[in-house]
Chains A and B, each alone.
Chain A
Amino acid sequence: MNKSCTCNRNAKIQQTFLSVLIVAVVFLSGCATTEVAEHHIANKADPYENFNRKIYVFNDTVDNYVAEPISDTYKWITPQFMQTGVFNFFNNLKTINVVINDVLQAKFKQSAEDAGRFALNTAFGLGGFLDVGKSVGLEQNDEDFEQTLAVWGVPQGSYLVLPLLGPSTWRGIPGVVFDTAANPVSYVGMPVQLIYMLNARANAEGALKFIDEAALDPYVFTRESFLQWRNNLATDGKSEAALDFDDELGWDEADSAAKGSDAATGNKAGQTLDLYPETR
């Protein structure tokens, strides 16, 4: 009797949450369609920019009014060693997923290291509260299912901003689903999950503050740094696209080719750039 009552209540809460989400999406898409005509800017990686921007603003508002105040309180009342312990604990649980993805990407040596790290921290680090692995020089690797899909050759797809979850891509959606399923935290009760979220927000503080300080357009700044960061992770830092800075000048070469100038004679793109300061 009592149980069915809670179930009912849960179902009700879920329904309310769902309807709020639907309303938000409908409302936001309404805004988006009225404004589509205003902007004809299409970024190749971000064809849904106008819609994504709405979700971004929505997430930002939720963060400013809900997540940030709660996270600040958590940081204020929790001593630093506890915060570090909590971070280490959840980070250690995440290692299970890292090991699975090491194997899925055929990085067997790395999977052995990560498994060893997990065993060490769980056994000798008070169940993961202390990062023993780090002190013996076992650096943690950063792997997840989205990276595995990238290694398997699944295309990234467009950039998406998910309600409440933030920056992602089409490939990131199955990534998040798998990572959540492979994280033990997903199977325990509310208080642990709440601390998990507080810990996540507290750790994002530095990055979010940096974006606030440095970005002229926080939406574009977040999108670009997110896509470059994910690309760098998926390629384990060997991402040539980010390194090839001649690529950054590529548009200029195309320019000069159109004007029939230097490009035809095999001159560097950079040289056409050089002319500008002098000709002024």
Chain B
Amino acid sequence: MMVLKNIRLALVLIFCLFTAGKAFAQEGNEATARQVVENFQAELIAVMKNGKQLGYAGRYDKLYKPVSNSHDLTKIARIVVGKEWEKLSEAQQQKLVEVFNRFSVASYAHNFKDYSGESFVFDSEEETARGGFVVHSRLLIPDDKPVKFDYMLKEKGNSWRIINIIANGVSDLALKRSEYTSILQREGFDALIAKINEKIDTYSKQ
């Protein structure tokens, strides 16, 4: 009986050590900015390939984790409302982040719905003055001009997170910030949330 107990203890210990070791190893092998981008692009292409079978809901579910793990959506939501962030109550800030998360995944699920031979290629990467990273890549589309995708990443804890995407020179962050601050100033917080929810709704129906 005692022997059995010892063996079990030993097994538990080994198991603990093993998983701890694995965790440490993962910490040491933190993905680089380029890997974060390329992993995300691979997930996106995979979803596009099965886009039709998956349907909107399927694409949304499949993309939820890849999008939230590779983007710093909380920070993006905070940046796009600019100085207005401080004027929001804590509950409003939470609401904005929550709705913005769903909207970001919904936009991906809606816009990357099928596959016709597209592929991403890596071009180069560079460090920015304030410790961020820019990953330059292109989306190749058969029979069409390639689209330049530049990803801006910042470190969050010990992982790199996408914070802005610039497609053919048009910055998503700058675009959203103009829109969101304008709506907040002109129409207020509730109107902004209602408009985002309305978009998510339209996306889900197409």
Question: Contact residues of A with B, CB < 8 Å?
Answer: 39, 41, 43, 139, 213-217, 220-221, 223-225, 228-229, 231-233, 237, 239, 242-246, 248-249, 251-252, 255, 268-270, 273-274, 276-277, 280
Contact = CB atoms under 8 A, between A and B. Distances in A.
B179 A270 contact: no
Contacts of B41: none
Contact of B174 (A242, A274, A276): A242
Contacts of B183: 216-217, 220
Contacts of B164: 245, 248
Given A216-B192, A243-B134, A244-B128, A273 B169 contact: no
Contacts of A215: 179
A215 to B, nearest CB: 7
B75 A220 contact: no
B104 to A, nearest CB: 12
B154 A41 contact: no
A242 B166 contact: yes
Given A268-B131, A270-B132, A224 B166 contact: no
A256 B164 CA distance: 22
Given A216-B180, A251-B82, A268-B130, 14 more contacts: A41-B182, A213-B203, A217-B183, A224-B175, A242-B171, A245-B152, A245-B164, A245-B173, A246-B128, A246-B132, A248-B164, A255-B83, A274-B156, A276-B85
Contacts of A233: 169
Contacts, number: 111
Interface string B124-144: 000011111010000000000
A231 B94 contact: no
Contact of A245 (B82, B110, B128, B169): B128
21 contacts: A41-B182, A216-B180, A216-B195, A216-B196, A221-B179, A224-B170, A224-B178, A225-B170, A225-B175, A228-B174, A232-B168, A237-B169, A239-B169, A242-B171, A243-B150, A248-B79, A268-B131, A270-B75, A270-B131, A273-B78, A280-B93
Q: Which 10 A-B pairs have the closest CB atoms?
A: A232-B169, A245-B152, A216-B195, A228-B170, A224-B178, A246-B130, A224-B175, A277-B74, A268-B130, A220-B182
A280 B94 contact: yes
Given A217-B183, A223-B178, A229 B107 contact: no
Contacts of B132: 245-246, 270
B130 A270 contact: yes
B179 A274 contact: no
A99 to B, nearest CB: 20
A248 B174 contact: yes
A5 to B, nearest CB: 49
